[in-house]
Amino acid sequence: MSSTRPTANRPTSTPATAPPAHALPAHALPAHDNGSRGPVPILTVSGLGKTFTMHLQGGQRLAVLDALRFEVRPGECVVLGGSSGAGKSTILKLVYGNYGTDEGHIVLRSATGEVDLATADARAVLAARRDTMGYVSQFLRCVPRVAALQVVAEPLVERGVPQGQAEERAADMLTRLSIPERLWSLPPATFSGGEQQRVNIARGFLPRLPLLLLDEPTASLDTRNRDAVVELIREKRAEGVGMLGIFHDVDVRDRVADRTVDVEAFSPRPVVAA
Ligand SMILES: Nc1ncnc2c1ncn2[C@@H]1O[C@H](COP(=O)(O)OP(=O)(O)OP(=O)(O)O)[C@@H](O)[C@H]1O
Print pLDDT tens along the chain (274 aa): 333 333 333 443 433 333 333 333 344 333 444 445 578 999 999 999 999 988 777 788 899 999 999 999 999 999 999 999 999 999 999 999 999 999 999 999 977 789 999 999 999 999 999 999 999 987 777 667 899 999 999 999 998 999 999 999 999 999 999 999 999 999 998 898 889 999 999 999 999 999 999 999 888 789 999 999 999 999 999 999 999 999 999 999 999 999 999 999 999 876 555 5
Contact by Cβ (8 Å): 124, 106: no
Atom of ligand 1 nearest to the CA of 248: 25
Say yes or no: CB of residue 12 within 6 Å of ligand 1. Answer: no
Atom of ligand 1 nearest to the CA of 87: 18
Say yes or no: CB of residue 92 within 6 Å of ligand 1. Answer: no
* CB-based contacts of 256, cutoff 8 Å, min separation 6: 77, 79, 230, 233, 234, 243, 245, 247
* CB-based contacts of 13, cutoff 8 Å, min separation 6: 70, 78, 259, 260, 261, 262
Atom of ligand 1 nearest to the CA of 86: 21
| Strands laid side by side in the 43-54 sheet | 60-72, 43-54, 103-110, 113-116
Say yes or no: CB of residue 186 within 6 Å of ligand 1. Answer: no
Residue 109 CB burial class (10 angstroms; 0-12, 13-18, ≥19) = buried
> Is 40 strand, coil or helix?
coil
Question: What is the C-alpha separation between 186 and 69, in angstroms, rounded?
Answer: 43
Question: What is the C-alpha separation between 36 and 212, in angstroms, rounded?
Answer: 25
- Backbone angle region of 141, left / alpha / beta, with phi > 0 → left and psi within -120 to 50 → alpha: beta
Say yes or no: CB of residue 63 within 6 Å of ligand 1. Answer: no
Q: Whose CA is nearest to atom 26 of ligand 1?
A: 84
Say yes or no: CB of residue 2 within 6 Å of ligand 1. Answer: no
Question: Please, what's the b/e burial string for 148-160 (b: 16 or more CB within 10 A of its CB; e: otherwise)?
Answer: bbbbbbbbbeeee
Say yes or no: CB of residue 139 within 6 Å of ligand 1. Answer: no
* Model confidence, pTM: 0.84
Computed on alpha carbons and rounded to an integer, the radius of gyration of the chain in Å comes to 19
- For the question of an ipTM over 0.95, the answer is yes
Q: Are strands 133-136 and 113-116 parallel, antiparallel or unpaired?
A: unpaired
Within the chain, what is the greatest distance between any pair of CA atoms? Answer: 68
Question: What is the C-alpha separation between 73 and 43, in angstroms, rounded?
Answer: 7
